[in-house]
Amino acid sequence: MIAAIVDAVENLPPVPNVINELQNLYYMDAYNAHDIENIIKKDPALVANILKIANSPIYEFAREIVDIRQAIVLFGLDKIIEFALASYVNELLTFDLELYHISTEDFLRLSQRKSVIAGQLIENKKDKFLVSNTAFLADIAKIIIANYAKKENIELQFDENISLNELDEIEKSQFGFDTIEITTYIFDKWNFEKNMVDLMKNFKKQENLHQRAIFIARDIINIKAELIEENREKYEETSKIHL
């Protein structure tokens, strides 16, 4: 991996401690809304950002969420963690994503849609949490790649209708690296749990259901978060799943 990319990853701000605490809480056998609220309120800025994300058009909730307790009760801890991750990603999106022909809102919608698709393929609650979070953050490296390309005055030629998995191959051929390897490096830098790092690194092997869920989520949508009907129908037919 080239030095400019390594430096960019090293300069990323750390994931807020509150998010790590929420993730640790999720894996506990017993917690309640009060426990969740106490952790989130350690970071007032995060409270405001979670409410902003929860009320954004991306999540299409029918009525306004006015306080964090309401959000916790309505959505549950797993979705609150997703909102917190979205808030963090949104702060990183000061970079221009023009390389991929998308906006900040497009990127957040893409992240959310991958998370939903991958999560619905997993039944076990804690496994679903792992897979959904990994899918949500799987393309975070595109922020780094887009910034690098802009500095180097490089354009990426690709068909916007191809899948994210196919887009990885174009990145690799043009840059010598792709989203998957850089995101894996970011996960490791952020000290994410080993099974999440390994899942990100190896999901294209499709050796287990976790890996396959993320592969499918990235294979049936394009960079605009639009469904690729041909691929969706293929998986529904061969895997007997509804997407």
| CATH number for the domain that contains residue 132 | 1.10.3210.10
Most confident of 32-36, 107-111, 165-169: 165-169
Residue 141 CB neighbour total at 10 angstroms: 26
- The tally of domains found in the chain comes to 1
CA–CA distances in Å: residue 155 to residues 75, 97, 150, 203, 205:
40, 11, 8, 27, 29
Q: What is the pLDDT of residues 157-191, one digit of tens each?
A: 999 999 999 999 999 999 999 999 999 999 999 98
**Predicted confidence (pLDDT) at residue 140 exceeds the cutoff of 90:** yes
For residues 66-83, average pLDDT: 90
For residue 227, list its beta bridge partners. Answer: 221
Predicted local confidence at residue 240, as pLDDT: 58
Predicted local confidence at residue 54, as pLDDT: 84
Distance CA 241, CA 243 (A): 6
Q: What is the pLDDT of residues 193-243, one digit of tens each?
A: 999 999 999 999 999 999 999 999 999 999 999 999 999 888 887 765 666
Look up residue 105 and give its amino acid: E
Predicted local confidence at residue 1, as pLDDT: 63
Predicted local confidence at residue 30, as pLDDT: 82
Predicted local confidence at residue 176, as pLDDT: 93
Look up residue 176 and give its amino acid: G
**Residue span of the structural domain in which 229 resides:** 3-239
